[in-house]
Amino acid sequence: MAEYANVHFALETMRQEAAAAAGREGPRVLILGPEDAGKTSLAKILTGYATKMGRQPLVVNLDPSEGMLSVPGALTATAFRSMIDVEEGWGSSPTSGPSPIPVKLPLVYFYGLPSPLDGEGGFYKAVVSRLALAVTGRMAEDQEAREAGVIIDTPGIVGQGKGASEDIIHHIVTEFSISTILVIGSERLYSTMVKNYDNKPIATSATAAASDERISVVKVTKSGGCVDRDATFMKYVRESQIRSYFFGSPVPSTASSALSLSSTATGTAIALSPHTSHVDFDSLTVYSITIATDGEQDEYDPSKYESFLPGGTDENDTTTSSSLQPPPGLLPGLGSDLSAATASGASTSSNPNLPLKKLPSPAPLSLENTLLAITNVAGNASLEEVRDASIMGFVYVADVDEKKGQGGKLRVLAPVGGRVPSRAMVWGKKWPGEVVGLIG
């Protein structure tokens, strides 16, 4: 703990220098390390010390495996203007109801995949760039945030420091103009970071050397209190975070409390009242993420194989095949409006940095027990706008009835009452995946 306090004092000195020099920014700290090395705990400690000094740092969570003031699968940025709740960790957002500690207002972007390396990292880097743009804009307009700087927590898989992981680290360092890299729990990663970044000019996305500041790489000792968390424990932590979003259950801070918080647990610090409603699937605009994750195969598309379609042909029946195939850009079974959008590239994309595809009607049964992220853009927005949009909130799909309506009807759980917003939605099928038994 003394070592962590020394890191805080060094960062505070940098903040004082930023306040004294006009136009200078505070420390932009990147925390790297392997899984279960204590990166998030270090970020909380540094944030807590900064707020006690009257600072207002921006805290960025780039780890999709765990949510910070949001659900797993989301990347968030939050300005901390008040103390951190001892029991609830990062604290709570406005959806968590009344709180003795002032609530936080996170900016949320949805990634929807378990690992930054999925799809060779292209989609992850695109979302990180958008989040970095928002953080940079906030620092440019808020003097207190500019002096306090940024603290960035990263996923453990990025701490491998080689191949695609090294490329993602470089992207984060560039986009956020990182000035200090803290490496915890890995001597090899520390050596790599020293070789690549120590005493190098601070780089930005616009220029290789934006100022005379230099990057500092610091090795931090792993805390003796760090323990390995297995897949079962992490599954319960994710489920408890999703439950807390809708019902107010606090995210457990210990293994025993996490494992006791099953899907039927009712004890909550603040009881919320989410609302259920029924909505026609055809009234929604839902996009799925097309990148295949580890251990998952690409979705089977029967339209690629004519012999498996009604009226399928062989190589000798080209005339029939030509008459049965839809015009270019049209998809079998979809209306002309959607087909036209597909032809213009608005509902599907082969770009690995833009792996979104519009879900056709009827509603697939696999929507059950999953989350939909509601974006802040209209349903007819382009794929780039959907990818780059911040998140308004999340709804949970409790049931899919294919027999009702033309495209089926969904029973959804929302944090607040009222109609489901007519915005573009992104399906969290791949991550956080199914959450069975959230409601009956």
CATH class of 1-230: alpha beta
Which residues, 6+ apart, have CB-to-CB distance to 154 below 8 Å?
Answer: 30, 31, 32, 39, 62, 63, 172
CA 252-255-259 angle, 5° bins: 80
Strands 391-401 and 409-414: antiparallel
Structure-token match 């009827």, residue found: 362
Task: Name the token pair of 390.
Answer: 């911040």
- For the domain 275-293+353-427, what is the CATH code? 2.40.30.330
Tell me what pLDDT residue 261 has: 42
What is residue 414's three-state secondary structure? strand
What pLDDT sits at residue 127? 96
Per-residue DSSP letter, 348: B
Burial of 352 (0-12, 13-18, 19+ CB in 10 A): middle
Tens of pLDDT along the chain (440 residues) come to 789 999 999 999 999 999 998 778 999 999 999 998 999 999 999 999 999 999 999 999 999 998 898 999 999 999 998 777 666 667 666 654 556 666 788 999 999 999 999 988 899 999 999 999 999 999 999 999 999 999 999 999 988 767 889 999 999 999 999 999 999 989 999 999 999 999 999 876 543 334 678 999 999 998 888 888 898 999 988 998 898 888 875 544 444 444 444 434 444 456 778 899 999 999 999 999 988 765 554 444 444 444 444 444 444 444 333 333 444 433 333 333 333 333 334 455 567 788 999 999 899 999 999 999 999 999 999 999 999 999 999 999 999 998 887 888 999 999 888 889 999 999 988 888 888 888 86
Whole-number Å distance between alpha carbons of 395 and 380: 20
Instruction: Please report the pLDDT score of residue 305 as a whole number.
Output: 41
| Model pLDDT, residue 220 | 95
The C-alpha atoms of residue 47 and residue 424 are separated, in whole angstroms, by 34
User: Where do the domains of the chain lie?
Assistant: 1-230, 275-293+353-427
Positive or negative, the CA dihedral 158, 68, 151, 172 is positive
HSE of 61, CA atoms in CB hemisphere, 13 A:
28
Q: For residue 247, what pLDDT is reported?
A: 86
Distance between first and last Cα of the chain: 45
Burial 291-319 (b: 16+ CB within 10 A, else e): bebeeeeeeeeeeeebeeeeeebeeeeee
